[in-house]
Chains A and B, each alone.
Chain A
């Protein structure tokens, strides 16, 4: 039963990648019967069973040591010196300021990249133009570029002597080492998520219904709100969740662009880095726990949405 639920989930993921997976249930059935014939020969059965349990133990052991044990390690360290120290290091002005900063950057990044993500997805799925493949590759680029290099690019472009920066400088608008620059860096690293999650859903569900609505006389705007948006809803929500996770967690690009000024341009991740380099481990561990907890919530949300993404 479990296996089938997994199969459905994975097959959906695959569908989003555009790979044909129409016969996954059939495959699943086949693999069951395969297992039975496999197990019917006693000698093979015993041999494969030993291998099976060895492999299972090794994989689960590796997973526990690599992924789960560090989470335990940090929980233990953060509460080592009591709850009071945990709370006092989280309520310093610098810590509070950094979390508020992360909050606003995340909100702004989600709003802007949701809007542009939908636009990018619509253009990439429905429009035909020359160089579309290249355009698609450019949308993926932030996945591949090192965050430090990304931050550096924005310093060059928006710095006081940069092509765009000099214009802003003349109009007394600060971009680099200020909120706008940090937002731009976050926008860059989170740009692909909404577009990439909405594209496959749009490809699969949107078109015919939209055409029908259009023929029946709905305006483009009406078609978008009443037909397109509901059909891409879960893909969109999934993309937004990924955007939130990355916005909260972004470090390298924001560090370079912000200059990491305490109480001014520090986000939560920069605050953790600051505390760590200042040897204030209690502060670093406590703030890290909060972000780790946020990641668990995000992960749970992702899992819940995943099941619904394909169902409308």
Chain B
């Protein structure tokens, strides 16, 4: 009998298992990416480049990054504050609120878009009221930011919450007894401790924002040079059977995803070091 610990030796069934795992990832992730890259480079780098720098494509990229940036700033502030309130304070229905934080993850993005139109659209009660004062939310940039805020709300909250929960208050206490103001305590002690978590949440939000499609395609109206974001531009090109045009921004978006993934891994390493 040659029975050793299962993870010490590689035998036939382990090999089969690993083969299956490699096959699945190869078929579903690696091969499609290679196919896309090949297709993009088929006509040479210069063709790809001209597809990226068309005015409409560049404008859609600009809108994507600007709305994502505004969303991240708001999300960092509100997400950290929400985590703070949920961890440090007690109030009625706190558990319900804590559960509902994940709602944006459970709701389909198209439904999110439809909900925002129902609430802020031209014929609805909030949208109609704001429309009287000339403020347009749906089919304009504020609608895009609102949609991004909705779909990425849980990221910062859920990243900061556990760190805040584990944070030892003795440092804050010590600073307090030494006469530090609340302002100083917050920016010199609380923020540095939470920083890796906040940045992780922000990176996740950003990755979601540049790829987001379902909610934006509903709320933005997809007007070129006004509210068309990058993912919607790619979809528009595919709709008009212009695969070449879609390739440029697809590659840009894919590269952004890679960069964010690497960044997130670095952040994780940093926050582990930070803990020790």
Interface residues of A (CB under 8 A from B): 2-3, 5-7, 10-11, 13-14, 17, 19-21, 23-24, 27-28, 30-31, 34, 37-38, 47-48, 51-52, 55-56, 58-60, 62-63, 66-74, 76-78, 116, 119-120, 122-124, 126-129, 135, 137-150, 152-157, 162-164, 184, 187-188, 191, 207, 210-211, 214-215, 217, 220, 223, 245, 248-252, 255-256, 269, 272-273, 276, 284-285, 288, 291-292, 295-296, 298-299, 302-303
The answer to the question of B188 belonging to the interface, with a C-beta cut-off of 8 Å to chain A, is no
Give chain B residues whose Cβ lies under 8 Å from the Cβ of A288.
110-111, 114-115
* A251 with B213: CB separation less than 8 A: yes
Instruction: Report which residue of B87, B114, B118, B165 has the largest number of chain A beta carbons within 10 angstroms of its beta carbon.
Output: B114
B28 near A59 with CB under 8 A, answer no
Contact status B109-A251, CB under 8 Å:
yes
CA distance A223 to B82 in the complex (A): 44
Partner of B39, one of A69, A156, A248: A156
- The 8 Å CB contact of B106, one of A34, A60, A245, is A245
- Contact partner of A120 (CB less than 8 A), chosen from B25, B112, B118, B150, is B25
Known: A127-B17, A148-B232, A156-B36. 12 other contacts (CB 8 A): A24-B165, A30-B170, A55-B84, A56-B85, A62-B81, A70-B118, A73-B126, A138-B30, A139-B29, A146-B210, A146-B211, A248-B108
- Please state if A68 and B165 are interface contacts (CB–CB under 8 Å): no
Q: Is A273 in contact with B169, judged by CB distance below 8 angstroms?
A: no
CB neighbours (8 Å) of A298 from chain B are: 106
Q: What residue of chain B has the Cβ atom nearest to residue A117's Cβ?
A: B24
* Residue numbers in A under 8 Å from B94 (CB-CB): 2, 6
Residues in chain B near residue A299, CB distance under 8 A: 99-100, 102-103, 106
CB-defined contacts of B10 to chain A, threshold 8 Å: 127
Q: Is the interface of B mostly helix, strand, loop or mixed?
A: helix
Determine how close the nearest CB of chain A comes to the CB of B14; give it in whole angstroms. 7
B residues bordering A, Cβ < 8 Å? 3, 5-7, 10, 13-14, 17-18, 20-21, 24-25, 28-33, 35-36, 39, 78, 81-82, 84-91, 94-95, 97-112, 114-120, 124-126, 146, 149-150, 153, 158, 161-162, 165-170, 172-173, 176, 182, 207, 210-214, 217-218, 230-232, 234-235, 238, 243, 246, 250, 253-254, 257-258, 260-261, 265, 272, 275
Question: A21-B162, A68-B100, A252-B235 are contacts. A55–B85 as well, Cβ < 8 Å?
Answer: yes
Alpha-carbon distance A38/B182, docked complex (angstroms): 12
Q: What residues of A have a CB within 8 angstroms of the CB of B165 in the complex?
A: 6-7, 10-11, 14, 24, 27-28
A220 touches B6 (CB 8 A): yes
Known contacts A37-B173, A51-B182, A288-B110: does B29 contact A127 (CB below 8 Å)? Answer: no
Q: Which residues of B contact A62 (CB under 8 A)?
A: 78, 81-82
Inside 8 A of B31's CB, which chain A residues have their CB? Answer: 157, 163-164
Q: Which chain B residue shows the least CB distance to A58? A: B81
